[in-house]
Amino acid sequence: MIKVEHIRKNFGQLHALKDVSLEVNQGEIVSLIGPSGSGKSTLLRCIHGLEKVDQGKIYMNGELMDPKDEKKYRQQRNKMGFVFQHFNLFPNMTVLENCNLAQIQVLNRSKEEAEKTSLTYLERVGLADKKDAYPNNLSGGQKQRVAIARALCMNPEMMLFDEPTSALDPEMIKEVLEVMKDLGKQGMTMIVVTHEMGFARKVGSRVVFLDHGEIVEDSPSEEFFSNPQSDRAKDFLSKVF
């Protein structure tokens, strides 16, 4: 579904991604893990087109993602849902309005159509009863579930998550991980930047371990956790467990 070929991304003198290649197949749940500053967010943002790569290519379903081919590029980007650490909900809009907005503006859905879809996904994340609430009146876990529902309203083919539970109080982490786990069970392709090693091990199918802008390991989850190959991964795991 996604093929990343030899991408490089620099911020001035800093090489945030150095020759990164990665393939993600349909239905896979890939956990992107690694130390802080290793390039996880940058990789995810490059895949989603929030950052432009300096070198290399990204393909979606076998087709090149080329920012110069604006219309097609936009369509390709719309097939990916992105969930941020800090939710990025619009505070001046209700939960329902947050979910409706891009459907109306980007997919040209009617308000009725959008609302119907929004309610379906709010129901799915257990928050239909909060449709008229404003984000500031929700808990962190609820906000993140709304953000996930909002992304799903666009009917993405895959979902990208950047530390979706890192800003949450511990008691709210589980409710968000449960929603993600359900999504995975329904066959959603996902790339998840996470520090939740339990999730990576039990729910994720594969681990991609990044360090200093390079993919150091790329292996099935169980293999990665039970038998990491590189010293860097071993060192990382010894610090988180």
> DSSP label at 128?
G
**Does 39 engage in binding with ligand ADP (CB under 6 A)?**
yes
**Between 213 and 232, how does the x/- string for binding to ligand ADP read (CB under 6 A)?**
--------------------
Q: Provide the minimum distance between the beta carbon of 80 and ligand ADP in the complex, in angstroms, as a whole number.
A: 17
**Does 42 engage in binding with ligand ADP (CB under 6 A)?**
yes
**Does 37 engage in binding with ligand ADP (CB under 6 A)?**
yes
Name residue, tokens 């290399």: 56
**Does 31 engage in binding with Mg ion (CB under 5 A)?**
no
Residue nearest to Mg ion (CB): 41
Q: How many CB atoms lie within 10 A of CB 124?
A: 17
Alpha carbon distances (Å) from 109 to 41, 71, 100, 104, 127: 31, 18, 9, 5, 22
H helix or E strand, kind and range, residue 15: strand 14-24
- Site size toward ligand ADP, by CB under 6 A: 11
Of the candidate spans 6-14, 41-49, 93-101, 123-131, the one that interacts with Mg ion by CB under 5 A turns out to be 41-49
Of the candidate spans 7-15, 35-43, 90-98, 141-149, the one that interacts with Mg ion by CB under 5 A turns out to be 35-43
Q: Pick one of 38, 41, 103, 144: the residue that binds Mg ion (CB under 5 A).
A: 41
Across 46-168, where does the E strand assignment appear? 55-60, 63-64, 80-83, 158-162
**Does 11 engage in binding with ligand ADP (CB under 6 A)?**
yes
Decide: residue 53, CB within 10 A, 0-12 exposed, 13-18 middle, 19+ buried: buried
Q: How many CB atoms lie within 10 A of CB 145?
A: 28
> DSSP label at 78?
H
Q: Which residues bind ligand ADP (CB under 6 A)?
A: 11, 14, 16, 34, 36-42
Residues forming the site for Mg ion (CB under 5 A): 40-41
